[in-house]
Amino acid sequence: METDDDITSQHYAFLVSETEFDAIFARVRERGLSYWADPYNTKRGQVNAWDDGRGVYFEDPNGHLLEILTRPYGSKGTSAEHPHPLIAEKLEPEKARGAAMNEPRPVREAS
């Protein structure tokens, strides 16, 4: 299909196991790719802990935002130590404020 239109950047998320996350994330770092804990690219070099799993965002060569995550969005609900931001919005004010302050996890080296 030929077109003169610009290609719009897309977001692609992949739910992976912990082992797969380690392997993929190791390749991201080996290639020196930038990565972020959030889809807005504000937490560079960090991994998020949403839903008490791990998640990271990085760009493919065409500028699409790729995400790998080890727990489905909202899967831990309100019981998560680190609730997904979409869930945190619905929590009572005190808990939501604490959830919003959750810092991403430090990068864990694959063993």
- Residue ranges of domains in the chain, CATH in brackets: 11-75 (3.10.180.10)
Distance CA 38, CA 47 (A): 8
Residue 88: predicted pLDDT: 73
C-alpha to C-alpha distance for 5 and 43, rounded to whole angstroms: 31
In tens, the pLDDT along 42-75 reads 999 999 999 999 999 999 998 999 999 999 988 8
CB atoms within 10 A of CB 10: 11
Q: Is the pLDDT of residue 16 over 70?
A: yes
Is the pTM higher than 0.85? Answer: no
Characterise 53 by phi-psi region: left (phi > 0), alpha (psi -120 to 50), beta (else). Answer: beta
CA angle at 36 for the pair 54 and 98, rounded to the nearest 5° = 60
State the pLDDT confidence band at 77, using cuts at 50, 70 and 90: confident
> Average pLDDT, whole number, for the chain?
84
